[in-house]
Chains A and B, each alone.
Chain A
Amino acid sequence: MVRALEKYIRPGVKSTPFCPGCGHGILMGLILRAIDESKMDMKKMLFVSGIGCAAWIPSPNFNGDTLHTLHGRALAFATGAKLYNPDLCVMVISGDGDLSSIGGNHLIHAARRNIDLKVICANNMIYGMTGGQAASTTPKGARTSTTEEGNPYQPFDLCNLVKAAGATYVARFSVTQPVALVRAIKKSLLHSGFSFIEVLSPCPTQFGRRNRPDRPDEMMKDLIRRCILEEEAKGLTQEEMAERIITGEF
């Protein structure tokens, strides 16, 4: 039996490398769904990624041109490819640490230039691949392998950061909001300019293990509970707001 999106998976790829309970597998399927529903020509797509778990979403799984680069540099590589061949539809898929820590400088400049890149930032609020170190998006107080006493620093609000830098399509959704997320990815595919979609994706293995909730199903339910739209935030108290995550288009 051939599954509907199988043509987008590179022949020979039998499985993903993601941990059980990781949100990246869901994100991977949603990206392909958006590409399929938008009837994109895979021959014209270019998938660029950095280093980290999210960067292994397109490489080698996607059945198109993939460019797996250096840690933090996906946007710079992508800029070169896109400027030389503007006919390519360039999607950058990488993690929060790769795009906003080591890659932070390239992120704000690519946004400033409004280069036509479709950036999908899988945010699991941790450095997963290397064993659970603190990231620029780790919540204050969270335990990581380098902040056993609790992270002392504020995390980035990636959407605010990128919008201030000049991005022209900015959205945040969770892997627990698949319908909205596919719609946003489709919009970004058609958008002419720098688009940035932050995707909340749980990491039970590294983040869950040191914090609560830790079970994959509990982390998903937690995301469902906490992710709200801007309108829904209006009726909430400060205390209720503290643990909410605002999703939507900004």
Chain B
Amino acid sequence: MPSRWVKSPFPKGMHYLSGNDAAAEGAVAAGCRFYAGYPITPSSEIMERMALRLREVRGVFIQMEDEIASISAVIGASWAGAKAMTATSGPGFSLMQEAIGYAAFTETPCVIIDVQRAGPCTGQATRVGSGDIMQAKWGSHGDYQVIALSPWSVQEMYDLTLGAFNLSEQYRVPAFVMADEAVGHLRESMSVNARVEIWDRKKKKGGSPFGTEEKDGVPPMPAFGEGERLLVTGSTHNELGFRKTDAPEAHAKLVERINKKILNHRSVISGTEGYFLDDSEIFLITYGFTARTSLFVVKRLRKEGKKVGLLRLKTLWPFPEEAVAEVVKRGKKVMVPEMNQGQVVGEVRKLCPGEVIPLNQTDGEVIRPETIMDELKKII
């Protein structure tokens, strides 16, 4: 799919920002020109910055009455042609699940940033957690795929929000940035390039918006007002959008295509980053803020001569099975530290014939290096 280069709307060079602010800038850089949202700690700063920035770039901002209205407005705007986004945290993410299923089934590009906090329920609103990882994949009913990215720095809040838009457009699928309170409120330097690469949804006048014979499985997407007489519906539909609620073939075909569309491209979509993988026998597999701490631990242990490595998951969904399988087949032991009761560890276990040890922490705080160090030393 062809991309294009545009001038960065944010001045090029080094900037010192919070993760939340960087995410907003990444969205504007990607071409996001519609934001509908609802305040929720610890994501509200994203909405506030978007309110400001969209006015500057002549986009549209609206604060809606609740999270359901927000994601609904985002989807409506996307079909009117916008690159649209909202940001929230756990409780809001839960409210949005029905609409997320709608976006997946109608193949509506949209981006949701979940700045995760300590749950379940209201939990500790100002504290950190990684409890929404499984929900990102399975939160709505039925079988569908999503793309979920996991930033570990302010730089990545910018890069991966930009990346989420690009992937969302390329694959006509909702894309999530699974951030958390730690990286959202963290302040760091980040660098902005003079130009950014962006992808737009496929367009084809008169093309079927909900079916394709093309290999990539992604149909073209018209917008309202282009004279295409769109038939957008959340019911099972054929390639033209006509409701097909009685035909078994229609349901099978649609459900299969929207899943295969993502799974067939997993190796291209899913990103990981390896550190000291080649000669390690013990691996940490983790993501997000916890991966940062884990890298510090791995480097420390390497200085002590211990053969440990780290596989960082930049993409959580579709789960990077190939990269993880490659690492676990080499390792004697795998440890998965997470700020939850074990959500990614289950996916790793599916692929790992050896021992997989979870390191779970749900106290509203980030996992400290000493904690990971102590647990690793028990198994080295």
**A residues whose Cβ falls under 8 Å from a Cβ of B:** 10, 12, 43-44, 46, 48, 59-60, 63-70, 73, 76-85, 87-88, 105-106, 109
Contacts and interface: CB of A to CB of B under 8 A. Distances in A.
Given A60-B241, A88-B224, A83 B60 contact: yes
A76 B242 contact: no
B73 A69 contact: no
Nearest to A68: B233
A76 B70 CA distance: 7
Interface of B (DSSP majority class): mixed
A43 B64 contact: no
B225 A44 contact: yes
B84 interface: yes
A70 B102 contact: yes
B225 A43 contact: yes
B62 interface: yes
B225 A80 contact: no
B80 A84 contact: yes
Given A43-B227, A60-B242, A69-B234, A106 B62 contact: no
A85 B224 contact: yes
B76 A67 contact: yes
11 contacts: A48-B76, A59-B233, A59-B243, A68-B232, A76-B68, A77-B73, A80-B34, A80-B75, A80-B84, A81-B76, A84-B81
B233 A88 contact: no
A83 B66 CA distance: 17
B79 interface: yes
Interface string B78-103: 11111010000000000000110010
Q: Which of A12, A65, A82 has the most C-beta atoms of chain B within 10 angstroms of its own C-beta? A: A65
A77 B79 CA distance: 9
Interface string B33-68: 110100000000000000000000000101011101
Given A67-B76, A69-B234, A79 B62 contact: yes
Given A76-B69, A76-B76, A84 B34 contact: yes
A59 B228 CA distance: 14
B350 to A, nearest CB: 33
Nearest to B232: A67
B69 A109 contact: yes
A12 B70 CA distance: 35
Nearest to A55: B233
Contacts of A73: 68-69, 72, 99
Residue among B72, B228, B233 with the highest chain A CB neighbour number at 10 A: B72
B229 interface: yes
A40 to B, nearest CB: 13
B77 interface: yes
B235 interface: yes
Contact of A59 (B74, B99, B231): B231
Contacts of B64: 76, 79, 109
A80 B229 contact: no
A70 B241 contact: no
A69 B72 contact: yes
B323 interface: no
Contacts of A76: 64, 68-70, 72-73, 76
B254 interface: no
Given A68-B234, A105-B69, A80 B228 contact: no
A81 B224 contact: yes
A63 B231 CA distance: 9
Contact of B229 (A64, A70, A82): A64
Contact of A80 (B36, B65, B234): B36
B73 A65 contact: no
A12 B242 CA distance: 10
A12 B77 CA distance: 28
B99 A84 contact: no
A66 B232 CA distance: 6
Complex A-B, nearest 6 residue pairs according to Cβ-Cβ distance, in ascending order: A80-B76, A80-B73, A76-B72, A77-B76, A80-B77, A68-B233
A69 B33 CA distance: 22
A85 B231 contact: no
B351 interface: no
B230 interface: yes
Given A67-B224, A76-B76, A80-B73, 12 more contacts: A65-B224, A66-B229, A68-B243, A70-B99, A76-B64, A76-B70, A78-B76, A80-B84, A84-B60, A85-B80, A88-B224, A109-B65
